[in-house]
Amino acid sequence: RLTPPTDTAAAINMVEHAIAAAEAAVPGCHGSYAVTGDRPAIERDPVSPLLAALKCAADDVTGTDTTVGFFTGYTDTAVIAGKTGNRSCMSYGPGSLALAHKPNEYVPHADIVRCQSVLIALADNTLWGADGQ
C-alpha cells in the first residue's frame, strides 16, 4: 500500500534505483519487478459534492451530525480508483472495526438497515435534488 505523497510512479522509481544499486554492487546479480496493481491512497476531498450529499443523507437518516472520518485500512475503493483513474472515490458501509476480521465477525442488522436508508436518501437527493425536484 502506498501512502501520500508516494504514488505508483514514485514507487517504481524507488524499485528501479534499488535494482540498479544491487546490480552494481553484486556482480552477476539481476533484478526485475512487475507492477500488479495500481491501488492509490484515496485522499478525502473536503469540497466533494458527493461527500457533502452523503453526509447530508446520513445526517437526515440518523438525525445526528455525522462525523466524516478517514479509514487507514484497505478497501475496494482503492481498486476502483486505480482501475478508473478517479481519485474522488469514497467508501460508506455498515459495521464496526471492533468486530471486523475476528473469528465471529458480524454486522448488526440495524447497521445494514441504516446504510440502506442512507444510500436510498443519497440516491433520491442526487437524482431529484434535496428539494425533491
Question: How is residue 59 written as a grid cell?
Answer: 445526517
- Over residues 79-89, the pLDDT tens digits come to 787 778 777 78
Based on the fold, state whether residues 12 and 49 are members of the same structural domain.
Answer: no
Based on the fold, state whether residues 1 and 66 are members of the same structural domain.
Answer: no
Based on the fold, state whether residues 24 and 66 are members of the same structural domain.
Answer: no
Query: Considering the domain boundaries, does residue 95 fall inside one?
Result: yes
**What is the C-alpha separation between 6 and 39, in angstroms, rounded?**
11
Task: Provide the domain count of the chain.
Answer: 2
Q: Which residue type sits at 19?
A: I
Q: Give the mean model confidence (pLDDT) for residues 95-103.
A: 86
Query: Considering the domain boundaries, does residue 133 fall inside one?
Result: no
Q: Phi and psi of 14, rounded to 5°?
A: -65, -45
Name the pTM for this structure: 0.69
Based on the fold, state whether residues 18 and 80 are members of the same structural domain.
Answer: no
Query: Considering the domain boundaries, does residue 81 fall inside one?
Result: yes
Q: What is the mean pLDDT of the chain?
A: 86
Based on the fold, state whether residues 114 and 49 are members of the same structural domain.
Answer: yes
- Over residues 2-53, the pLDDT tens digits come to 777 888 899 999 999 999 999 999 999 999 999 887 777 777 788 888 889 9
**What is the C-alpha separation between 8 and 15, in angstroms, rounded?**
11
